[in-house]
Homo-oligomer: A and B are copies of this chain.
């Protein structure tokens, strides 16, 4: 491709993944208990290791980097503080995963009238839901030995209005942030895969807690 100077050199083509959505609810989850490649510099490894240990990456195998959930035109978006989201524990991660699929995500759960999880089955569940897409990705990661994805994220997206109106949500999972992808050298990306399996278990548990869900062990009831 020709650059703006007229010379021929490689380009990165970027895509705005949410451009087709009116009020997208999105969550960015960095996958892997380790965000550094073995061949990285000592200084970079030390920096990443500190962040991994301070966040949930080391303990859970992933960390939520950020999320926003569309409520309505009046209230706008629920967008919890970035530092809270990244450094929270397993119970808070469960709460955030539930809030993400609630029509009232900012409700105070201490009053007993907490988030309603009303979109759990349409966003996480079903034939084309987020869990089904994660399981498909898992199957690929169990076999592929071409790439290792360090510090990459999975982006969850859905259209809140659509989910409430029709029961369908257009839920979508995209692999994003390829700045630290390395050669797999014939070995699977066990670091990404382990974190992905942990996330799958969390999502499965949220689904299992809703009445609409009848599967177990990460299996989707189709």
Contacts and interface: CB of A to CB of B under 8 A. Distances in A.
Give chain A's interface residue range (CB within 8 Å of chain B). Answer: 20 to 34
A190 B185 contact: no
A190 B61 contact: yes
A10 interface: no
B185 A142 contact: no
A191 B33 CA distance: 8
Interface in A113-169: 139, 142-143, 145
- What is the oligomeric copy number? 2
A191 B62 CA distance: 11
Given A53-B38, A191-B33, A195-B190, A90 B185 contact: yes
Contacts of A194: 61, 190-191, 193-195, 197
A141 to B, nearest CB: 8
Nearest to A94: B186
Interface in A156-201: 185-188, 190-191, 193-195, 197-198, 200-201
A187 B90 contact: yes
Contacts of A188: 61, 197-198, 201
Contacts of A198: 187-188, 190
A87 interface: no
B218 A143 contact: yes
Q: Which of A53, A143, A216 has the most CB of B within 10 A?
A: A143
14 contacts: A38-B58, A38-B59, A49-B49, A60-B187, A139-B217, A142-B197, A142-B217, A143-B201, A143-B216, A187-B201, A188-B198, A193-B193, A193-B197, A194-B195
